[in-house]
Amino acid sequence: MVQRLKIVAPPRTRPLPADWRLQAALSAVLWAGAIIMVVPFLWMVTTSLSRKADISMPRTPSLWPPDPSLFNYQIATANLPIVQLYLNSLIVVGATTAGYLLLCSMAGYAFAKGRFPLKAPLFTAFLATLFLPFETRMIPLYLLMGQLHLTNTYAALILPFLAGGFGTFLMRQAIAGIPDELIDAARIDGASELRIFRSIILPLCRPTLATLAILNVIWRWNDVLWPVLVTSDSKLFTVTQGLALEGHSQGTYTGVALATAVLSILPVIVAYLVLQRFVIRSVASSGIKG
């Protein structure tokens, strides 16, 4: 609604004397800042492409490798099972995101449209979990995984993140906005609640589901605290964990370490550049950091 109004409305008449000098100055300052944001990335890529970087670094940083080669990448991929790391991250991020979206929408649907005893206290209980920081429960959770014989399994990486108060709240708000008449009409036509959930609720909540999916992917992809606690078997390491534990141990070989870093963040950056419109909208609309 707001978006549409903006297009129809005449351009804003801010007290801006529409002169190009101001626009040029703004551009100059903002692009200077943008260069500061990008230079560390460029320097990382440059250094990772320089074979000499493993022995001695130039005293004046350069943004062009003196001896471009893929040597460091060969070493990095030989030392790190990069394909396995990506596979593990995809499994963990994929399973948690699919489960989180499903379970949060289920709870959200019940709390938005359902009528059942204890609805209000249960919803309050879901919301109250927002006040329980992960860091408070992480050591007992790690011990619990040991008791369940789940340490060093994918299940340990996935199960604790399948349901949560934040997603339930977001989905409840989105589903509460769907008109009751739509659902009643489907009910009169004989559709079951499950059918209504699948064919009406979920499709209508697509924007919120996309927001929640993007946020969850960022959280789970970047998480390192929980994987480090619950997996010690390097066959189960995620990309971020592998980078932290293995990539760091190559610290003395600057070129190799930075090649490892590039391999771990390049696909994320490519995905981000493709999806940037959605990512930025998700963060701006929810106000939640990735």
Q: Which of residues 29-48 bind another protein (CB under 8 A)?
A: 29-31, 33-34, 36-41, 43-44, 47
> How many Å apart are CA 274 and CA 65, to the nearest integer?
27
- Identify residues 45-104 at the interface with another protein (CB under 8 A): 47, 57-61, 103-104
Report the residue number, 16 or 83, with the smaller CB distance to another protein. Answer: 16
Evaluate whether 178 touches 204 at the Cβ level (below 8 Å).
Answer: yes
- Output the smallest distance, CB 132 to another protein, in A: 5
Report the residue number, 71 or 263, with the smaller CB distance to another protein. Answer: 263
CA separation (Å) from 267 to 121, 131, 224, 261? 43, 34, 18, 11
Phi and psi angles of residue 111, each rounded to the nearest 5 degrees, phi first: -75, -25
> How many Å apart are CA 174 and CA 200, to the nearest integer?
13
- Output the smallest distance, CB 22 to another protein, in A: 7
- Identify residues 99-138 at the interface with another protein (CB under 8 A): 103-104, 106-107, 109-111, 114-117, 119, 122, 125-126, 129, 131-138
- Identify residues 202-261 at the interface with another protein (CB under 8 A): 218, 221-225, 229, 240, 243-244, 247-248, 251, 254, 257-258, 261
91 Cβ contact partners less than 8 Å away, ≥ 6 residues apart: 154
Task: Establish if 199 lies at the interface with another protein (CB under 8 A).
Answer: no
Query: Could you identify the residue written with the tokens 């022995």?
Result: 55
